[in-house]
Amino acid sequence: MEFETTKRDIRRRMEGALEVLHKEFGGLRTGRAAASLLEPLTVEAYGQPMPINQVGTIGVPEPRMLTVQVWDKGLVSSVEKSIRESDLGLNPSNDGQLVRVPIPPLSEERRIEITKIAGRYAEEAKVAVRNVRRHSLDELKKAEKSGDISEDELRDYSQEIQDVTDEFVTGMDDTLAKKEQEILQV
């Protein structure tokens, strides 16, 4: 068992969890229009769910307005429904093949609600990182049982894995703190 290869794999998988967190944070409203707000949404199209960016072009014509230029006129109502039923609190309007999505200013209550959602996303990412750690430690214990590594190596490698885990969890906490500050800023 080559530990350096394993360590690179652990780091790569933890970075994946961090990337997912950044993408989810991009979908949280901060009072400004951003195309990333609608990207996580799926639309019922042709009998199956599809990402919204595969049925139309998301645009930001002004700071408090999003638009979705739907390519197939038959999907306009599905796009509207998807946006309306999301937990984003948006009320789209249909303008032919263009769906306009005004971004209302956030109330204090809604800002607090969004910070809770951000906290939930961060916790899910931390759980993913801890799962990577647990899986890696299980692999190390198996290697020690089979005689591939010594007890001392097990202890040293376990500490290294814990250090990497702590680094990622701290990074996620910092990212969450920045996002909460951005959301609560009026």
Q: Are residues 95 and 127 located together in one domain of the fold?
A: no
Report the b/e string of 107-139 with b at 16+ CB within 10 A: eeeebeebbebbeebbeebbebbeebbeebbee
Q: Are residues 89 and 48 located together in one domain of the fold?
A: yes
Q: Are residues 124 and 169 located together in one domain of the fold?
A: yes
**Domain end position, chosen among 102, 130, 160:** 102
Q: Are residues 68 and 82 located together in one domain of the fold?
A: yes
Q: Are residues 112 and 170 located together in one domain of the fold?
A: yes
Q: Are residues 19 and 73 located together in one domain of the fold?
A: no
Q: Are residues 39 and 98 located together in one domain of the fold?
A: yes
Q: What is the spatial distance between Cα 161 and Cα 163, in angstroms, rounded to a whole number?
A: 5
Q: Are residues 21 and 39 located together in one domain of the fold?
A: no
Residue 184: the pLDDT is 82
> Nearest to residue 160, comparing CAs of 1, 20, 17, 8?
8
Residue 37: the pLDDT is 79
> Nearest to residue 184, comparing CAs of 23, 31, 24?
31
Residue 30: the pLDDT is 67
Residue 71: which domain range? 35-102
**Domain end position, chosen among 102, 118, 141:** 102
Q: Are residues 78 and 50 located together in one domain of the fold?
A: yes
Report the CATH number that the domain containing residue 47 is assigned in CATH: 3.30.1360.40
- For residue 57, the cross-strand partners are 69
Report the CATH number that the domain containing residue 21 is assigned in CATH: 1.10.132.20
Let me know how long the chain is: 186
Q: Are 175 and 25 in contact (CB under 8 A)?
A: yes
**Domain end position, chosen among 61, 79, 102:** 102
What's at 145, amino acid-wise?
A: K
> Nearest to residue 97, comparing CAs of 64, 59, 62?
59
**Cα-flanking dihedrals φ and ψ of residue 60, to 5°?**
-125, 85
- The total domain count for the chain is 2
Q: Are residues 10 and 41 located together in one domain of the fold?
A: no
Report CA torsion sign: 91, 107, 53, 16: negative
Q: Are residues 49 and 97 located together in one domain of the fold?
A: yes
Q: Are residues 10 and 62 located together in one domain of the fold?
A: no
Per-residue pLDDT of the chain (186 residues; tens, 9 = 90+): 577 778 889 999 999 999 999 888 877 766 677 787 788 888 998 889 999 989 999 998 988 888 999 999 989 999 999 988 887 778 899 888 899 998 887 788 888 888 998 999 999 999 999 999 999 999 999 988 998 889 999 999 999 999 999 999 999 999 999 989 888 876
